[in-house]
Structure 1
Amino acid sequence: MKNRLTYLLITLVFTGMRPSMQAQYNPQLSDFGKMWPFEYVPAEQFSETYQFQAGGEWLDDVRMAALQFANWCSASFVSPDGLILTNHHCSRMVLERIMKEGEDFDAHGFYAADTAAERRTPGLWVRQLVKIMDVSDRVMQATSGAETDEEMISLRDSAIYAVMEEVSEQEDWENLEIEPVLYYSGVKISLYGYKRYDDIRLVMIPELQAAYFGGDPDNFTYPRYNLDFTLWRAYEDGKPVNSSGFYYAFNPDGVQDGEPIFVVGNPGSTERYRTIAQYEYDRDYRYRIQLEWMKTNYRELEKQFEESGDRALQEQMFMISNSIKAIQGIIDGLYNEELMDRKRQMENYIRRKVTDAGGEDYWEQLAREYRKISPEMMEVLLLGPQSGNSGTVLMAYALDAYLEALEDEEADTSELRHFREMLPRIAESLSSGEEKTNLTNLLVFMERYADDDDDYVAAILDGDTPEQAAERILKETLFTREKKMERFLKWDAEKIRKKDDPVILMAMTLVPEYVRSSAIMNGNVDIRRALENKIAREMFGVFGLKLPPDATGTLRISDGRVSGYTYNGTEAPYKTHFFGMYDRFYSFNGEYPWILPERWQDPPVQLLKEPLNFVSTVDIIGGNSGSAMINRNKELVGLVFDGNIESLPGNFIYDEEVNRAVGVHAGGIVAALRHLYGADRILAELGVE
């Protein structure tokens, strides 16, 4: 009997049968995170977990104090007079618009001593979500007779537009920006009404080195020491907005270990409903190529910045370095077998429920579609005529269009004249100092990711290394010689096509290859989206509103607790202090990027004891920057500015054990305003004199 049992167990293992494991699988709903739209907040769960009443009035008050900061960040009202709090890194890209000659807010910061000195910023706006209407049932009724996916989408969009037209005429929706929002792949549909504020004025911003202390090396890490905040003010009719009915009161002492925390903001996007086939595509093609290309671009920008010190280049470097770490974190997560196994088990759980009930295997159908597009990813990502590509590639596209015009019997002389004026201007970029490097970098990627049947890559390289090929192409092409260029513009299409020129060769090989790859990529996009929608709806059919939808840039609330965590064999404390910032400053001998501004060089002892940053288990993603971190009393206790390195896989899975949101402690903001900036009028307005 014992031998028979042993044989049975061995057979089960080696045939891949695990019936008991499948039967015992308990779906981990927390993997999908906690980013709840306000109309689907699990209020009873909040109340039970955190021991307070999280009902309608509490949620309404919390929602009304929150703001969307332009189209890239979050913010909130923090006083009765329209004072707005967000991050420094959300604000710095608009500072050029308001700095006067001789001013440098990066080096010296800015503080308006009174309201008259507050600087209006052209083009900057914030929005407040004041109305929500669930229109799901009405729209679903309008689409009930659809026989195809295309017809359903058409009927759905028409129904949404009709409801928007009706709502816009209602008095309480008057003058609001009305937008439809689709959740769970269109199973649930809401209309959002936003009040927009266009007169936004700068009140206070600290120096760059205080806000971005530690720079890129410290980005996405913890313990952390950053004063990453900015204060703005919203005005209406030339006066500060009366926000007395919707603001978060400041509480500089509200962060305690284990204390419930809620983040209210606009998370950009997550991809937690994708399938295993899609995640493998992301890991092996989409993110991998993007990451390597970004690293290449960053190195080139770094060289240019060292030579010029151009602030615009520095802005680009900030954004790219942030993206590099974020994408690397996602890729690392996609290689994490434990995380991927959790996603795989959930997919198999839903998939089995659908197929056992006689439904179609949408997952396998979607996997087949992704196998078609995977080999085309390099061409689509890197070989297009997008701005910032190699000048040689842009020249190839211009030549392709010119040849098409020459061969078009209906092309008029003005069109040809336009090309003949444009081509010499584009050709000038081939003689720039950076073009050899740009072209070499592109050829490196083409060689690295070429498939066996990509003959066009071999033809362009012609047996050379990418660097040799770039040098040869730029040396041999007629487009770097003015006289030859003039003669070229008199040729007909046949003569151009016969010309042995490396850039013309690229026009006749690389461009068609990009067009072919794009056609394949776009050719099944509707099929892929339809399958994604069907899978998401199957998920909703099983779990309903127990799972939050993916982030879409709309207002969400996320719950968690203040909590440190284990890392690198030790414990990360739940909060840090200004003392730690100065320790890091001196430990690195005050060298970049651990530099402190001049006014910070001789701090009072009281400042060193004050908290600066803290961490909690709330669920955040890009777009949450500037989000308010509030307690059960609707008081602001912190400001989201980052996540730890372990949170980066949060794009596709949330892991409460290690995911941490990093915030600026409200007590740290108050301490800096008091001890470093002498901002007494702001402290009085915040009620924390």
Structure 2
Amino acid sequence: MGKMWTFENPPVEYLKETYQLTTDKAWFEKAQLAALRFSTYCSASFVSADGLVMTNHHCARESGTAVQKKDEDFSAHGFYATKLGDERKVPELFVDQLVRIEDITARVQDIEKQGADDYEKLTLRDQGLENIVKEYGEKPEWKGLEIQAVTLYSGGKFSLYGFRRYNDVRLVFMPELDLGFFGGDPDNFTYPRYNLDVSFFRVYDDAGKPLKTTHYFKFNPDGAKENEPVFVIGNPGTTGRLQTIEELEMERDYKLPYLIQVLENRKAVLEAYNEKAKSDSIANEVFSFENSVKSFSGQLKGMRDPYLMARKRAFENDFKTKVRNDAKLSAEYSIWDQISESVKVLRGAQHELMLFQTNPLFRGEMLTLAQQLVDYAAISKTNPQRAATLKEMLRAFTPKSMEIESGYLAAHLEEALSLLGPTDIYLRYALDEKSPDEAAEWMLSQSKLKDSTYVQKLIDGGETALEASEDPFIQLALIAQPRYMKSVFAARDAYMKLELLQGRLGRLIFDAYGTAIPPDATMSLRISDGVVKPVEYNGTKAPANTTYYGLYDRFLSHKGTYPWSLPEKWKNPPAELLREPVNFISTNDIVGGNSGSPLVNSKLEAVGLAFDGNMESLTGYFIFAPDTGNRTVSVHTGGIVAALKYIYKTKRLTEELLAR
């Protein structure tokens, strides 16, 4: 179940037993206050007394390029502020520091109990959490903080987190894309790795001066030795380790295969389009799809591994035995049967839910627009508030590239064909003995939905105008809508029941195992322990750390072609750089969201910067299994200092990191 420990239940005894490490309140307080959440999507940390912040290049890329001036290209040349006045404020960027935590579980559970049915319980719970957040916002000790209600153990526990938000964040340093993204998608989720995935920012106070802080991770360029304990402090995004076997099997059999197919098909469409367009935004979207395909494929491979699933089943059986044999807990033993009933309902609704969802990624913009028009007509009288919002979206619709649209639509029809078969009425109408490619071209040539006047006519005419329309997208949407709504209503009740059951199951896990099992990741601050440790792969052994020698070997072996290309300033390195470490691996437990998390030693010194996991880590969504090779991949602090010293000549930044 992993090692994503919460700060409200720090693993004091566990760390003492496992590493002979004595920790106290001050140790965890420093770890908590030196760690940061970078905007809403990454992690970061303070690494100097003057508000210097370290995170990943891939977390900083968008923020950094947002402040480049005309004729500047940070992707090609990087950025370094040689003096304090050159540091550039990034609009709308913020970092959050967790300063207060309070358990509100009992209060939320009392509110939930007042509901007469599943829907009312969830509604009361959500409203109750909103009210508690508002209430605490008026308390003197919480006033001025960003307050968030955090769900733990799938709803078995609830905490209130108070963050101090810093809005004046300025770019200090970021390397070129060639270094920050060295190896690109081919090297993504692999190890050995050679990647300078680091950037630095600085937080300024309300007076416009660098923030003075006593809570930061002092930089240790020596890093950590093999088998030395290290700790990742960051915000892991999402895991599903507390799900039952049946829930995981549903993801394995339905959701993941379909999602992977969709992403691979859309990636192919964008790649074909971008051969001519040469758009950076499209290229970034392609990488995002590639990253997701690798990630979801790794999860799926793990769920198809009988050994890993047997381990999950063994835990579930042990858990059931504990509940059955405990006089207080045994009354909840039927929870597994109740979860099973909900999962069966959801399995039956999956195909329609996946295929007919109103999402342009899955169905293309035109078919999504048609579905929204049908939806608007159906709710215009029963739900005027939602209808008004939808109406504005419909009026604002502007189709993008018809080439991408045709590709997405053809891919959707191909996917529908594989799930529903050619005799399904949806496919009989859409294809009419055409191939998916031919059908997509024909539908686009016949449709009037690109005409805003025609769309407005359909909005005004309601159901009558839709039924009279001969537009192929409208006709296909009319076929899909009743089937989609039927599956939505069936799934809605099942999902609500399942959400409540998961909360009860989470409470059971906590009651049965206590804090020995941490909750699933929820993008909330966690501390994960591990050790620096080599890994076996491809019949050989990968070292605990790589060096810049290896980076140049990758560059030369691939003849300097992208994504193993290097900027000019890197092509004649000093000998001192080559032997320096660049990346290393450890057995820490991380997932997406941990990007930018510091790795610290037992003295709370920064020894690394987490940026990825290896292929074996992708099963970490549902099981933590370091014995099968799961490793965290990090940038070595020594490698960061070496690059700053020998290549970038960042005297001011280097001396600040080394506290000189």
TM-score by length of 1: 0.87
2:353 paired residue number: 380
What SS class does the counterpart of residue 626 from structure 2 fall into? Answer: coil
Per-residue deviation at 1:167?
4.5
**Cα distance, 1:402 vs structure 2:** 7.5
Q: Which residue of 2 aligns with 1:42?
A: 11
- Give 1:252 deviation, angstroms: 0.6
What amino acid sits opposite 1:642 in the alignment? D
Residues 115-134 of structure 1 aligned to structure 2 (within 5 Å): 115-134=84-103
2:643 matches 1:672: yes
Gap change, CA 1:392 and 1:115, over 3 Å in 2: same
Aligned to 1:53: 22
CA contact (8 A) 2:343 2:494 kept: no
**Greater CA drift, 136-145 or 551-560:** 136-145
- Which residue number in structure 2 is paired with residue 15 of structure 1? none
In structure 2, the CA distance between the partners of 1:504 and 1:159, relative to structure 1 (3 Å rule), is: closer
- What one-letter code is carried by the residue in structure 1 that aligns with 2:206? D
Does 1:396 find its partner at 2:370? yes
**Cα distance change, pair 368–486 in 1 and its aligned pair in 2 (3 A):** closer
Equivalent residue number for residue 438 of structure 1? 408
- Matched AA of 2:467: R
Change (3 A) 1:653 1:480: closer
User: Take 2:198 and 2:487, find their aligned partners in 1: how far apart are those partners?
Assistant: 44
Aligned-residue CA RMSD in angstroms?
3.2
Distance 1:529 1:61, change over 3 A: same
Q: 1:507 aligns to what?
A: 477
Is the CA contact 2:377–2:459 (under 8 Å) kept in the aligned structure 1? no
Q: Contact conserved, 1:82 with 1:240, CA < 8 A, in 2?
A: no
The answer on 1:531 being equivalent to 2:505 is no
Q: What is the CA–CA distance in structure 2 between the aligned matches of 1:679 and 1:146, rounded to whole Å?
A: 61
Give, in angstroms, the shift of residue 627 of structure 1. 0.2
267-276 vs 499-508, which moves further: 499-508
For 1:295 and 1:612, the matched residues in 2 are separated by 32
TM-superposed deviation, 1:141: 6.4
Please list, as runs of the form range in 1=range in 2, the aligned pairs for 1:67-106 lying within 5 A after superposition.
67-106=36-75
Q: Provide, for residues 216-268 of structure 1, a one-character-per-residue CA deviation record: whole Å limited to 9, x for no partner.
A: 00000000000000000000124344343100000010321001100000001
Corresponding residue for 1:456? 426
Pairing 1:366–2:339 present: yes
2:621 matches 1:621 = no
CA change 1:141–1:526 in 2 (3 A) is closer
Give the % identical residues. Answer: 39
1:208–1:484 distance in 2 versus 1, CA, 3 Å: closer
Amino acid at match of 1:376: A
CA distance in 2, matches of 1:663, 1:134: 33
1:366 aligned partner, one-letter code: I
**Inter-partner Cα distance in structure 2 for 1:643 and 1:483:** 51
Q: Provide closer, same or farther for how the CA distance between residues 473 and 137 of structure 1 changes in structure 2, counting only shifts above 3 A.
A: closer
Which whole-Å CA distance do the structure 1 matches of 2:461 and 2:212 have between them? 68
Deviation at 1:163, TM superposition (A): 5.7
Q: Deviations over 1:447-472 (max 9, x none)?
A: 11117994323332233332232234
Shift of 1:53: 1.8
CA contact (8 A) 1:478 1:484 kept: yes
Residues 604 and 363 from structure 1, CA distance in 2 versus in 1: closer, same or farther, beyond 3 angstroms?
Answer: same
Pairing of 1:62-461 with structure 2 (within 5 A): 62-137=31-106, 164=133, 167-355=136-324, 357=330, 359-388=332-361, 389-397=363-371, 399-400=373-374, 422=395, 432-450=402-420, 454-461=424-431
The structural deviation recorded for 1:409 is 13
Aligned 8 A contact 1:670 1:688 in 2: no
The secondary structure found in structure 2 opposite 1:434 is: helix
Which residue identity is paired with 1:625? S
2:523 alignment counterpart: 553
**Alpha-carbon distance, 1:534 to partner:** 2.1
- Structure 1 residues 358, 95: CA separation in 2 closer, same or farther (over 3 Å shift)? closer
Q: Which residue identity is paired with 1:668?
A: G
Query: Do 1:289 and 1:378's aligned partners in 2 also have CA atoms closer than 8 Å?
Result: no
590, 604, 609: which one pairs with 2:560? 590
Distance 2:159 2:455 in 1: 58
Q: Is the 8 A contact 1:351 1:361 kept in 2?
A: no
Residues 1:372 and 1:167: Cα distance change in structure 2 (over 3 Å): closer
Tell me, in whole angstroms, the C-alpha distance in 1 between the residues paired with 2:475 and 2:38.
47
SS at structure 1 position matched to 2:68 = coil
Q: 1:213 to 1:530 in 2, by over 3 A?
A: same
Q: Which amino acid aligns with 1:470?
A: A
Contact 2:151–2:522 (CA under 8 A) maintained in structure 1: no
Q: Quote the Cα distance in structure 1 between the aligned partners of 2:407 and 2:395.
A: 24
Q: Structure 1's 363 and 455: CA in aligned 2 closer, same or farther, altered over 3 A?
A: farther
SS of the counterpart of 1:524? helix
Partners of 1:383 and 1:393 within 8 A in 2: no
| Residue deviations 1:343-389 (CA, integer Å, cap 9, x gap) | 11111222344456454422232222222222433433343333444
CA shift in 2, pair 1:155/1:226, >3 Å: same
Report the CA distance shift for 1:176/1:391 in structure 2 as closer, same or farther (over 3 A): closer
Structure 1: segments with no counterpart, 5+ residues: 1-31
- Max Rg structure: 1
The answer (yes or no) to whether the contact 2:118–2:496 under 8 Å persists in 1 is: no
Residue 470 of structure 1 is matched in structure 2 by 440
Aligned to 1:22: none
Alignment of 1:645 onto 2:612: no
Q: 1:472 to 1:555 in 2, by over 3 A?
A: same
Name the CA shift for 1:270/1:479 in 2 (closer, same or farther; >3 Å): closer
SS in 1 for 2:272: helix
Counterpart selection for 2:572 from 602, 627, 639: 602
Deviation at 1:550, TM superposition (A): 0.4
* Cα pair distance change 1:163/1:71, threshold 3 Å: closer
Bigger Cα displacement from structure 2, 139-148 vs 340-349:
139-148
8 Å CA contact retained: 2:192, 2:546: yes
User: Contact between 2:370 and 2:473, CA under 8 Å: does it hold in 1?
Assistant: yes
- Name the CA distance, whole Å, in 2 between partners of 1:490 and 1:529: 39
SS of 1:566's partner is strand
SS at match of 2:403: coil
Q: Distance in 1 between matches of 2:441 and 2:467?
A: 22
Separation of aligned partners in 1, 2:534 and 2:311 = 24
Whether 2:660 is the aligned partner of 1:686: answer no
Residue 632 to residue 495, structure 1, CA distance change in 2 (3 Å): closer
Letter in 2 for 1:361: S
For 1:580, what is the secondary structure of its paired residue?
A: helix
Contact 2:157 2:507 survives alignment (8 Å): no
Distance of 1:178 and 1:495 partners within structure 2: 47
Structure 1 residues 70 and 485: alpha-carbon distance in aligned structure 2, compared to 1, 3 A threshold: closer
In 2, distance between residues paired with 1:37 and 1:311? 39
The one of 640, 657, 660 aligned to 2:631: 660
1:573 paired residue number? 543
CA contact (8 A) 1:375 1:451 kept: no
**Aligned 1:20-39 pairs, distance under 5 A:** 32-39=1-8
Matched, 1:541 2:511: yes
Displacement of 1:116 in angstroms is: 0.3
Change in 2 beyond 3 A, CA 1:304/1:238: farther
Number of residues of Structure 1 aligned to a counterpart in Structure 2 = 650
